[in-house]
Amino acid sequence: MNAPATTIQERYAGAVMNTFGPPALALVRGAGAHVWDADGREYVDLLGGIAVNSLGHAHPALVEAVTTQLSTLGHVSNFFATEPQVALAEQLLGLLGWSDGRVFLSNSGAEANEAALKLTRRTGRTRLVAAEGSFHGRTMGALALTSKAAYREPFVPLPGEVTFVPYDDVAALEAAVDDTVAAVVLEPVQGEAGVVVPSPDYLAAAQRIARGSGALLWLDEVQTGIGRTGAWFAHHHLEGVEPDVVTLAKGLGGGMPVGATVARGPAGALLQPGNHGTTFGGNPVAAAAALAVLRTIEADDLLGAAVARGEQLAAVLRGQVGVVEVTGAGLMRGAELDGPYAAEVVAAGRSAGFILNATGPSRLRFVPPLVISAADLDALDAALPAILDAARAAVAHTNPETTR
């Protein structure tokens, strides 16, 4: 029998570092795109562990892969090779179409970006150009590439020489990149900024600018990759965009911790023995989980499902009073509200049985499992008007000035 939610949350406060603030819920079980809290209440999960649970919760293919691998070979370190590790690297290269690529497997998106950052140093250059609004992780190197002042300022000085330019501004990028730049680092769609989509020609221009100065083009697909936007990688929506480095995590493991740094051509040979390492990265259990995710996405056409359900979700959002903009592709959608009440929408959503996410005062992000059903989104459509009304009423009650 599960402990009551209040008990778990009280224990959390007494034992876990306060890096995330008080948890909103204590969750104990999941199935598909639904989760249950310790009090037995059911929710439709529209956050998916922050774009991680690509197959939802307790997917049979993922459970079987992890169970089988753990009962066979759980961990051996990178002094040795294992079949899942090699097969995963091969599969990722095949999906990217890179016959001359190499893969470094790690445990998270931040670690994937740390490896890529070290890789860029092996070019002999030290400058990087990143975008305002970017998020690349919380470790010191990844944080150096993350623009949000609230994340960065408590930890300065940060490593590296990073120049931030406005996202989707080709002229600013062109002015910042010269022959001292090791890499241009961009998200194909900015996730933590609220699902910000650049102009269709932006990444192609970034590639041209980087190549013109001998810099690498590094695309952070930690959130956008592995089917999230309806393609294996978000840059695959754009003809002719061929990055030198791609970083992956989140949906790759379907809930198991795995990240990947993939580099092609000369960039794939920049890290040599002794330059980088990991104890757990490429662990056969995590690799087996990732392989199960990739195989299930392909077998069940979850790329097609992401497109279809994503279009349904976008239509649901566009039909709501108070939603003034909907962005994104596939099952990665942002919704801009007509006022700063996104946090209240998240709270009202929980009360109505939906797990929602706010990325800013007036911005919502939707990154549900790729297996979410049409019925789940119909339920959201039916519930959202009352959720939005409740959120606006909560704001009016606490701050009457906002309604005048």
Q: Is the pLDDT of residue 341 over 80?
A: yes
User: Is 376 within 8 Å of 33 (Cβ atoms)?
Assistant: yes
Q: Is the pLDDT of residue 177 over 90?
A: yes
| Percentage of the chain lying above the pLDDT 70 cut | 98
Express each pLDDT in 212-235 by its tens digit.
999 999 999 999 999 999 999 999
**What band does 248 get if pLDDT is binned at 50, 70 and 90?**
very high
- Provide mean pLDDT across the span 119-138: 98
* Residue 224: per-residue pLDDT: 98
Rounded alpha-carbon distances, angstroms, from residue 147 to 60, 338, 352: 39, 25, 34
Q: Which of 37, 45, 104, 135 is catalytic?
A: 135
- Provide mean pLDDT across the span 165-191: 98
* Residue 226: per-residue pLDDT: 98
In DSSP terms, which residues pair with 34 in a beta bridge? 31, 44
Q: Which of 168, 220, 244, 376 is catalytic?
A: 220
Q: Is the pLDDT of residue 102 over 50?
A: yes
* Residue 399: per-residue pLDDT: 74
- Provide mean pLDDT across the span 123-152: 97
Q: Is the pLDDT of residue 156 over 90?
A: yes
Whether 201 is catalytic: no
Q: Is the pLDDT of residue 5 over 90?
A: no
d(CA 287, CA 139) in angstroms, rounded, equals: 23
Express each pLDDT in 347-398 by its tens digit.
999 999 999 999 999 999 999 999 999 999 999 999 999 999 999 999 998 8
* Residue 123: per-residue pLDDT: 98
Q: Which of 45, 250, 354, 366 is catalytic?
A: 250
> Which residues, in sequence order, are CB contacts of 86 under 8 Å at separation 6+?
none
* Residue 345: per-residue pLDDT: 98
The gap from C-alpha 112 to its chain's centroid, in whole angstroms, comes to 12
Q: Is the pLDDT of residue 404 over 60?
A: no
Q: Is the pLDDT of residue 2 over 90?
A: no
Q: Is the pLDDT of residue 403 over 70?
A: no
**What's the mean per-residue pLDDT of the chain?**
96
User: Is 218 within 8 Å of 245 (Cβ atoms)?
Assistant: yes
| Percentage of the chain lying above the pLDDT 90 cut | 96
Strands (E), 94-171: 101-106, 127-131, 161-165
User: Is 404 within 8 Å of 351 (Cβ atoms)?
Assistant: no
* Residue 319: per-residue pLDDT: 98
d(CA 312, CA 324) in angstroms, rounded, equals: 17
Count Cβ atoms below 10 Å from residue 123 Cβ, excluding itself.
16
Whether 135 is catalytic: yes
Count Cβ atoms below 10 Å from residue 391 Cβ, excluding itself.
23
Express each pLDDT in 48-65 by its tens digit.
999 999 999 999 999 999
Q: Tell me how far apart the 2 most distant CA atoms of the chain are, in Å.
A: 67
Structural domains of the chain in order of their starting residue, each with its CATH number: 5-59+301-403 (3.90.1150.10), 73-299 (3.40.640.10)
Express each pLDDT in 285-316 by its tens digit.
999 999 999 999 999 999 999 999 999 999 99
∠ Cα 59 65 69 (to 5°)? 150
d(CA 116, CA 107) in angstroms, rounded, equals: 14
Express each pLDDT in 24-52 by its tens digit.
999 999 999 999 999 999 999 999 999 99
